[in-house]
A and B are shown apart, each in its own frame.
Chain A
């Protein structure tokens, strides 16, 4: 139907995907699905049998109407009709049942798919999100799930039902008359040919329409984003002209695609009409000529056979039409399912870590025991091959030895990096965009795994630490702040789910965010939506800092965490930041050298290598790259 037309369309049928969908359905509903199928089949067969009853009733009429003997006819007709009515009642029951079951199955299935997809998404490595557009990921959950819904809730039952009806009708036709059946089949073959031709044309243009829509969307997106620039440069008329070209192309593709799709229905139905007339005429000739009938039933070909035959030919074409109407949706559903399966088949983030983070009590002589209470102290629990356990206190000592790394094989981003951060130290990275600063932090929390070298956390190789525990011990504040739908307080509590309101507010104060939050319309209860779009970038960063503060991790990574806060505000925030950083190992990445100046060690990075290291004073005294950066002779991008 026409409303299927706006989803992408690929021409090849992908039966592997279909098999997989059916496989899931059977797995999820091992009993319900066969039951549903049975109900559909039953309804379909019942839908075909009236032809038999009509034939019987008509033959009775034929015998009785000359004598006008209704009472005689009645006795013979009523049982047929009553039997038919009983069948109908059963059929209505079974069709109600399968319709209800199908609604249940469809949405339980989609729900399972959605949750499976989402669970999978959560397990995917960061690399996936760095290399896929968010819009594309979104469309798996919206467009593709939607085509899948169409496929499961509509196409599959209709296909099953229609083919069952077609087969039953065919059987009855053969029962009535084989020669006439062949004529009907000829007509059906003609329909098939036409629908392949017209349907193929429609597929071609739908594909083109899809490309045009993509182009239009891309163009519109760019222009709507740059609308203010367009105004400033008086570029409106040119931009209208450019748009019209794209718009006209879209019109022409869309027009053609829909034209083919829309005319397919009338064409099939009217071939059906012609077929109907042909059968009537040929059947009439048949009767008049008195040819012998070949049939399973051995019935002679009379008017009582012809009339149900005509009805059946209608039913036949109607159902063939139904099937052709589903083709678009089936193809789209398969394409959508394929993309969904691609997501589900993505390789998940592996985690071979076995060292976990536990609450600990530490006695005066340094002995560590595990505790199930919150002690404020943490330890790494390290199981050994021989079944013994050992504990290492969490201190925040992070060391990297000769680390190499490449996002794409062969293109080294980091080379030979060694960094030693002792507990409580502040380590800063400066350098141009692409120098590899952020990459280093990506490696510490294992968003990406190093190619060569070693990273040790409190002396433990980080590959041995369970990823979730490793990340919980690191607090990260990123340049691009992401907040979640919910209140400000919820967002801060994201750092530690069991934090009390007071602890969250305390953290906000520490981050210097309390001031503006209390001035929001509903204070801490203010609802944020759309990534906190009602806040300024700087305010969002402050909330993100508070969120990290409430987690109270021994190690913090601040990646351009204050870049959007103006220098005056930053000076205010700085005091909070200093308090936040106290007694923690902190990695700082910043554009503004004023932010990193008071670090214990500053690493100057260039093209994936550390080219200078030392304290601010050391580096100034050296008069190297840092010095020229500091005096403004170099450009930092």
Chain B
């Protein structure tokens, strides 16, 4: 918990204010019973009304202060905990923005979402409890015991009995219940997974008529949870009786011993007012202990959230700028020199090995090969989405590690295989490529990407709002928007990673033709499943198993590469192309 408190920053002040108010509140609250005892005794002894009113006024002022402190503490602790949550969210989010691809791969996006929402909410709640109760409880406990002893040490000896009983009770209960709860939560997660599986895979369940089978599986798992959960909660339910034993013992003790003391001393050593006060003090002490155990439980529950948050915050960004970066990319030539690459240091297998390649500026290069052979890995090294494990990658003759990262990525536009457009208008999305782009520039890029036509067919044209996940445009339209977005960067190098798979072959050909004529000096790298998409390239790279097995033009490769020929024939037998 402590390690994430660095994110408190400007909310240290409300935290300390909370502590201050809480201490004040506890101090006053423990004074009130003694004062009331005086008041009651005074009334009993028949002191003049003016005295009674005076004590009453003091008590009233105390209540007002206690209310003020308590109320203010409510505000400051809310501010402190909500603030901590805000800063943590900010820190995690910013951290993720600085992540390299390697870092991103390590965290699934859904786990990052959980960290940013549920986990932080847990921490917020825990922090709120801690600064209020973790301080208040020991304070109340100490003050109440001191006040009780000062009032009457004989009566206060009740604490010798009830505190150990309650503490032992709470400890024993906690010892048994906590592991039980942990077990429950684990099983709970499993159960939820299976529910999600069913909700998602209902078509499969129903197709195989497996409803009863699934119900059986679920019932068994649910029954196990019921057993464990009942056990855990039954243990915790012992809290109530233990507390009651203490309170009741105290009541009997105070009544009996108190009565004796009052009667024997004739009201000089102890009076009826104190009897009532003693009951209140015992209540305060026991409640404090109880609340403290609640805090402890909260801490245990939020501990895992803290660990998960820390995991993100302590992640080291994988890529950094060099000391004196280059801010200008001279041209779009690319060199791979003895490049080997694996995704993580621990991975046994290299995703790429022995890559040597020279691509001249302005060339069109096609890359072809089956899934998982390393085509995407190869191009991802160019804008330094990952760093080569061994060997060098150069652009314009300069090692890419020497470029400023922003400069490099602005010069290398990449349309990722997993295309995404964001909620917002089409124009908003396209301006990711160039925030300052005017409408004319945008339209031009869209024409090149063969997107202008369909955009204009929408009622709102370029101002059409894209829904989250881009559900209101088709796959092929999405791909063309992504290409247009990349073109707006006016890059030196353009990489299309299987970016036209959902576009029909004719449109695909138009896009390639447009690219060739509008941006001839830009180096274009095209990864494709379809031979048709790459056959006109200046150079085609055939990859298999992380290696380049052949390079050449279409006609050369038909002669030299068996894989290429096989793919070509498979796609063209019986007809010209398939109509993907």
Cα(A233)–Cα(B385), bound, Å: 11
CB distance from A391 to the nearest CB of B (A): 20
Residues of B within 8 A of A107 (CB): 226, 229-230, 233
* A11 interfacial by beta-carbon distance below 8 Å: no
* A42 interfacial by beta-carbon distance below 8 Å: no
* A137 interfacial by beta-carbon distance below 8 Å: yes
Asked if A568 and B244 make an inter-chain contact with CB atoms under 8 angstroms apart, the answer reads no
Asked if B63 and A274 make an inter-chain contact with CB atoms under 8 angstroms apart, the answer reads yes
Asked if B209 and A471 make an inter-chain contact with CB atoms under 8 angstroms apart, the answer reads yes
Nearest chain-A residue to B279 (Cβ)? A311
Among A80, A243, A274, A280, the one with the most B-chain Cβ atoms within 10 Å of its Cβ is A280
Asked if B70 and A121 make an inter-chain contact with CB atoms under 8 angstroms apart, the answer reads no
Complex partner residue of B73 from A73, A80, A266, A485, CB under 8 angstroms: A266
A-B contact pairs, 23 of them (CB 8 A): A68-B265, A103-B234, A118-B195, A217-B113, A220-B112, A231-B101, A232-B413, A236-B97, A247-B90, A258-B78, A259-B78, A262-B78, A263-B71, A274-B64, A303-B272, A306-B43, A445-B206, A482-B203, A482-B204, A485-B193, A567-B567, A593-B578, A637-B475
Nearest chain-B residue to A280 (Cβ)? B39
* A388 interfacial by beta-carbon distance below 8 Å: no
| 8 A Cβ contacts from A480-517 to B | 482-485, 494-495, 497
CB distance from B381 to the nearest CB of A (A): 13
Residues of B within 8 A of A74 (CB): 260
> Given A119-B215, A227-B104, A254-B124, does the pair A265, B263 have CB atoms closer than 8 Å?
no
Residues of B within 8 A of A264 (CB): 74
Asked if A474 and B52 make an inter-chain contact with CB atoms under 8 angstroms apart, the answer reads no
Asked if A468 and B82 make an inter-chain contact with CB atoms under 8 angstroms apart, the answer reads no
Asked if A265 and B74 make an inter-chain contact with CB atoms under 8 angstroms apart, the answer reads yes
Interface with A: B152-160, B357-365, B394-402, B499-507, which one? B499-507
Nearest chain-A residue to B43 (Cβ)? A284
Cβ proximity bits A271-308 to B, threshold 8 Å, 1 near / 0 not: 10110110011011101100000000000000110110
Nearest chain-A residue to B202 (Cβ)? A129
Asked if A232 and B234 make an inter-chain contact with CB atoms under 8 angstroms apart, the answer reads no
Interface with B: A15-23, A90-98, A456-464, which one? A90-98
Residues of A within 8 A of B17 (CB): none
* B205 interfacial by beta-carbon distance below 8 Å: yes
Complex partner residue of A485 from B194, B199, B207, CB under 8 angstroms: B194
* B179 interfacial by beta-carbon distance below 8 Å: no
> Given A262-B75, A280-B43, A314-B280, does the pair A597, B192 have CB atoms closer than 8 Å?
no
Tell me what chain A mostly uses at the interface: helix, strand, loop, or mixed: helix
Cα(A633)–Cα(B211), bound, Å: 45
Please report the total number of B residues contacting A with Cβ < 8 Å: 166
* B128 interfacial by beta-carbon distance below 8 Å: yes
Residues of A within 8 A of B414 (CB): 232
Cβ proximity bits A47-64 to B, threshold 8 Å, 1 near / 0 not: 000100110011011101
Cα(A636)–Cα(B503), bound, Å: 7
* A267 interfacial by beta-carbon distance below 8 Å: yes
* B305 interfacial by beta-carbon distance below 8 Å: no
Q: Which 5 interchain pairs have the tightest Cβ spacing?
A: A266-B70, A482-B201, A632-B505, A262-B74, A263-B74
* A575 interfacial by beta-carbon distance below 8 Å: no
* A239 interfacial by beta-carbon distance below 8 Å: yes
Asked if A69 and B263 make an inter-chain contact with CB atoms under 8 angstroms apart, the answer reads yes
Asked if B93 and A220 make an inter-chain contact with CB atoms under 8 angstroms apart, the answer reads yes
Among A5, A138, A568, the one with the most B-chain Cβ atoms within 10 Å of its Cβ is A568
| 8 A Cβ contacts from B249-279 to A | 251-252, 255-256, 259-260, 262-267, 272-273, 275-276, 279
Cα(A270)–Cα(B29), bound, Å: 9
Interface with A: B217-225, B322-330, B516-524, B548-556, which one? B217-225
Nearest chain-A residue to B475 (Cβ)? A637
Cα(A130)–Cα(B208), bound, Å: 18
Nearest chain-A residue to B488 (Cβ)? A233
Residues of A within 8 A of B256 (CB): 77-78, 81
Among B36, B263, B476, the one with the most A-chain Cβ atoms within 10 Å of its Cβ is B263
* A630 interfacial by beta-carbon distance below 8 Å: yes
Tell me what chain B mostly uses at the interface: helix, strand, loop, or mixed: helix
Cα(A121)–Cα(B205), bound, Å: 11
Complex partner residue of A96 from B205, B241, B532, CB under 8 angstroms: B241
Residues of A within 8 A of B195 (CB): 118, 137-138, 141
Cβ proximity bits B51-71 to A, threshold 8 Å, 1 near / 0 not: 011001001101110110111
CB distance from B483 to the nearest CB of A (A): 13
Nearest chain-B residue to A597 (Cβ)? B574
Complex partner residue of A266 from B40, B66, B190, B199, CB under 8 angstroms: B66
Among B86, B416, B566, the one with the most A-chain Cβ atoms within 10 Å of its Cβ is B86
Cβ proximity bits A550-592 to B, threshold 8 Å, 1 near / 0 not: 0100000000000001111101000000000000000000011
Asked if A234 and B56 make an inter-chain contact with CB atoms under 8 angstroms apart, the answer reads no
Cβ proximity bits B98-128 to A, threshold 8 Å, 1 near / 0 not: 1111001000011011001100010011001
Complex partner residue of B208 from A141, A227, A270, A551, CB under 8 angstroms: A551
Complex partner residue of A569 from B191, B209, B371, B489, CB under 8 angstroms: B371
Cα(A5)–Cα(B192), bound, Å: 22
| 8 A Cβ contacts from A102-135 to B | 102-104, 106-108, 110-111, 114-115, 118-119, 121-123, 126, 129, 134
> Given A114-B222, A225-B109, does the pair A482, B230 have CB atoms closer than 8 Å?
no
* B245 interfacial by beta-carbon distance below 8 Å: yes
Residues of A within 8 A of B211 (CB): 122-123, 468
Residues of A within 8 A of B240 (CB): 95-96, 99
Interface with A: B163-171, B331-339, B418-426, B436-444, which one? B418-426
Cα(A277)–Cα(B55), bound, Å: 9
Cβ proximity bits A1-45 to B, threshold 8 Å, 1 near / 0 not: 011011000000000000000000000000000000000000000
Residues of B within 8 A of A401 (CB): none
* A84 interfacial by beta-carbon distance below 8 Å: yes
Cα(A160)–Cα(B36), bound, Å: 31
Nearest chain-A residue to B249 (Cβ)? A88
CB distance from A126 to the nearest CB of B (A): 6
* A410 interfacial by beta-carbon distance below 8 Å: no
* A631 interfacial by beta-carbon distance below 8 Å: yes
Cα(A122)–Cα(B197), bound, Å: 12
CB distance from B279 to the nearest CB of A (A): 7
* A269 interfacial by beta-carbon distance below 8 Å: yes
Complex partner residue of A478 from B71, B78, B204, B575, CB under 8 angstroms: B204
Asked if A569 and B98 make an inter-chain contact with CB atoms under 8 angstroms apart, the answer reads no
* B459 interfacial by beta-carbon distance below 8 Å: no
Residues of A within 8 A of B70 (CB): 263, 265-267, 269-270
> Given A231-B385, A471-B209, A497-B213, does the pair A307, B276 have CB atoms closer than 8 Å?
yes
Cβ proximity bits B39-54 to A, threshold 8 Å, 1 near / 0 not: 1101110100100110
Complex partner residue of B116 from A129, A220, A236, A254, CB under 8 angstroms: A220
* A407 interfacial by beta-carbon distance below 8 Å: no
